[in-house]
Amino acid sequence: MGMSRQHKVAVVTGASSGIGEAVTRRLAADGLTVVAVARRGDRLAALAQRDERIVAYPADVTRRTAVAALAEHVAGAHGRCDVLVNNAGIPGGRFRGPDDIDDLVRTMQVNFMGTVNCTAMFRDLLAASAPSHVVNLASVAGKIGSGHPGYAASKFAAVGFSEALGLAWARDGITVTQLNPGLIATEGFPQTAILRTRFAGIVGRPEDVAAAVVDVLVRRPRERTVPRWYRGLVVLRHVLPGPFWALTARARRVRGIRD
């Protein structure tokens, strides 16, 4: 998508707080009409009051019928979808045995299947609005296997889905980008433990990710890491796995992650 934002329409999921809220506010400030989607309608209503370009639409992305209704609403009310930002996500918990299977399934439903549901239901509208763009908020955890197992698994799935879909949909004028944030302090991911250490400076802000979304809409890459230096960890994972895993183990202790 070029620099002209007038009459462009974006849909952002997980928009009631954190990265989703920051992305919604940034895109609206840049002149796009933004349909802000999340389960917490009161949060969305408050967000929409800040900017007339923001349209609140409460929905649960894990419910296929709700997402289909969302896509139908956007098509009817706005006639197009230039940008779909799949951001809705939850952190998930530890995986120690059978009692944690349901938590992992729920994490996959929100983080991965929510992305699948939205991408599928908006496919025709994205194609009709081409050149258009799907930005899937994956994670550095989906590239190097850090964090809780269920969360990492959901983000690995998002990365693979984005890579394969990007190749398949390019011919229809739809760019698919996997945007992989590192540690970002949000309501769902407060990063409390590491913020109390001397490593607090590596923790980013939701606004950093919002700026990266704007950048990928202009540059149209298939992949982007934010902050950019986290990309070095991905390279290290494959080039020097031994030192990487030693570093990862130390980082888990600093962040207070326990299995």
From 57, 151, 189, 230, active-site residue: 151
Q: Cβ atoms within 10 A of the Cβ of 229, count?
A: 10
Assess whether 151 carries a catalytic annotation. yes
Please give the radius of gyration of the chain, using alpha carbons only, rounded to the nearest integer: 18
C-alpha dihedral, 165 to 168 to 174 to 180, nearest 10°: 30
Which phi and psi angles does 3 have, rounded to 5°? -75, -25
CB burial of residue 239 (10 Å; 0-12, 13-18, 19+):
exposed
From its phi and psi, is residue 97 left (phi > 0), alpha (psi between -120 and 50) or beta? left
Give me 56's structure tokens: 């609140």
**How far apart are the C-alpha atoms of 235 and 144, rounded to whole Å?**
9
| Number of continuous H segments (helices) and E segments (strands) in the chain | 12, 7
Element (H, E) at 85: strand 83-86
Contact 83, 8 (CB under 8 A): yes
Any idea what DSSP says for residue 16?
T
Residues involved in catalysis: 151
